[in-house]
Amino acid sequence: MFVVNVEGAIRRNEKWLLIRRSEKEEHGGGGLSLVGGKCEIEGDSSDILERTLKREVFEEVGSEITVIKYVNSSSFVTESGINVIDIVFLCHHKSGEPYAKSTEEVDEVIWMTTSEILAHTELPLFLKENIKLAEKILQDNMQVKY
């Protein structure tokens, strides 16, 4: 089967919240990514994706978020052969200054603009695509309001 992973595209003051994953992490250790994590088995439940994302963001960087909108989903296989479904949500930073709260998972918190992310030569293409999609959702929502 699949591991279900959720990630938050969290934006504040024209910048996106990225983390440098701990070198101890099996998948993507030392790389930059959005904040998130795996869904736990809960039996019958509702809003599992949104609740998991809120929990993971708080556990990893000590911030509270509001989940706004679905951005994208994809699948991949980890280096050890685990099949993962990854779901990205656009999020609003609600409270708590982000920091590397879970040192087992996070080495550093970094805020970057969309243009900095897109120009960064070491970031994976899927991360850049998720940021572009999240940015488009934000832009489309601004146009609707006016």
CA 98 to chain centroid, in Å, comes to 13
Q: What is the pLDDT along the chain (146 residues), one digit of tens a residue?
A: 899 999 999 999 999 999 998 666 565 556 899 999 999 888 888 899 999 999 999 999 999 999 999 999 999 998 889 999 999 999 999 999 999 998 888 899 999 999 999 999 989 999 999 999 999 999 887 765 54
Domains annotated for the chain, with CATH where assigned, are 3-145 (3.90.79.10)
- Give the pair of three-digit tokens for residue 138: 């934000």
- For residue 53, give the nearest of 78, 35, 41, 71 by alpha carbon: 35
pTM, full prediction: 0.89
